[in-house]
Amino acid sequence: MPSLSLTAWLIALAAALCTGFAKSGFGPFGILSVLFMAEVLPPLESTGVVLPLLLFADLLAVLSFHSHASWKALRALLPTTLMGIITGWLLMPLIPAEFFGHALGWITLALIGVILLQRARPETLHAITRHPLLGLFCGWAAGVTTMVANMAGPITAFYFLSQRFAKMTMVGTGAWFYLSVNTAKLPFSWQLGLLNSKSLILDLLLFPGVFLGFLIGRTLLPKVSQNLFEWILILMALGAAIRMIAKT
């Protein structure tokens, strides 16, 4: 059994709860699971622990929301996402993780600005948000950030919001997207030594927390209006961006 203090176990449990809650539809809460786990374990080791938690939650999400997916969006995102995963895998041994966190924070802030402008003046950005290259770029950026830091949530939230998807379409598409992406990351994470017997034992102990977090989120999701749902995504992405920029 992993040797953790009581405080560390509580933080790890909070990370598991946030993972399940995020996959129930409240995607940007996944940033909290990454940040919490990084308080318990070194950055690279925490990445290896978080990945199986994400996969377990992805399976729950697909079982619950599989019929709501936009296959057109998945076709737009997944090819370049796989390219982004390979890019992140190549870069991980070369560039400090802190660099990616800061860069992703600033990129996320810029994307939030685009979303707010679109909500205020939808006609202004119509050509950009409907351009096929946007999906290709967001897919690649999501692949890099999910491989390096399990932090693709703000990128996909931006893309789904920019396409003005209905709430359940965002959730269903995200479920299939992340199940595919996190499964693709497994061999790369294993090759980098991020997955091992010790991390997998910790994951098994935390799976009930993921399940509980998912049940809570799935219960709350129907009670949240489309407008409130979108503002939750925007504000959580904003908070995550500020946290990534401020973290040293």
User: What DSSP letter does each residue of 18-44 carry, written as one string?
Assistant: HHHHHHTT-GGGHHHHHHHHHHHS-HH
Q: Is 0.75 topped by the overall pTM?
A: yes
Cα 192 from Cα 195, distance rounded (Å): 8
- Residues with pLDDT less than 70, the chain: 1-2, 28, 43-44, 96-101, 104, 108, 111, 114-115, 117-119, 121-129, 247-248
- Token pair, residue 108, equals 């996320």
Q: For residue 105, what pLDDT is reported?
A: 72
Cα 57 from Cα 208, distance rounded (Å): 10
Cα 72 from Cα 241, distance rounded (Å): 28
Q: For residue 104, what pLDDT is reported?
A: 65
Q: Are 153 and 240 in contact (CB under 8 A)?
A: yes
pLDDT tens string 135-185:
888 899 888 888 877 777 777 877 887 788 888 998 899 899 999 989 988
Q: What is the CB-side half-sphere exposure of residue 169 using CA atoms within 13 A? A: 15
For helices 71-91 and 167-191, the axis angle rounded to 10 degrees is: 30
Nearest to 159 by CA among 220, 72, 224: 72
Identify the H or E element spanning 232: helix 226-246
- Token pair, residue 220, equals 């709350």
Q: For residue 138, what pLDDT is reported?
A: 87
Q: For residue 176, what pLDDT is reported?
A: 94
Q: Are 61 and 156 in contact (CB under 8 A)?
A: no
Place of tokens 């729950």: 60
Quote the distance between the C-alpha of residue 1 and its chain's center: 28
Cα 23 from Cα 5, distance rounded (Å): 27
Q: For residue 215, what pLDDT is reported?
A: 96
Cα 182 from Cα 189, distance rounded (Å): 10
- Token pair, residue 207, equals 């799976």
Quote the distance between the C-alpha of residue 209 and its chain's center: 18
- Give the domain ranges of the chain: 6-246
30-to-47, 69, 94 alpha-carbon distances in Å = 13, 20, 25
Nearest to 182 by CA among 132, 133, 145, 216: 145
Q: Are 234 and 41 in contact (CB under 8 A)?
A: no
- Token pair, residue 49, equals 């622990």
